[in-house]
Amino acid sequence: MIEKTMTIGEFVEKYPDKVDILLEAGMHCLGCPASQAETIEEACEVHGIDVNELLKKINE
């Protein structure tokens, strides 16, 4: 199960098949060096995305 404390870098590395979900949510800077150390929760805050809704989609 993917949690909000996972970094974007870890997510992209472990779940490349789910990256499209982040892109569709509006996170278009997944390759940015700064985003690699951000948690999913922090990235959601920056982009105005509900972290719980995003995690529901990711963990389906």
Give pLDDT tens digits for 2-60.
999 999 999 999 999 999 999 999 988 787 888 889 999 999 999 999 999 999 999 99
Q: Residue 34 to residues 26, 28, 51, 57, 60: CA-CA distances in angstroms?
A: 16, 13, 19, 24, 27
Q: Please tell me the predicted confidence (pLDDT) of residue 28.
A: 84
Q: Please tell me the predicted confidence (pLDDT) of residue 56.
A: 96
Q: Please tell me the predicted confidence (pLDDT) of residue 48.
A: 94
Q: Please tell me the predicted confidence (pLDDT) of residue 23.
A: 93
Whole-model pTM: value is: 0.89
Distance CA 49, CA 17 (A): 20
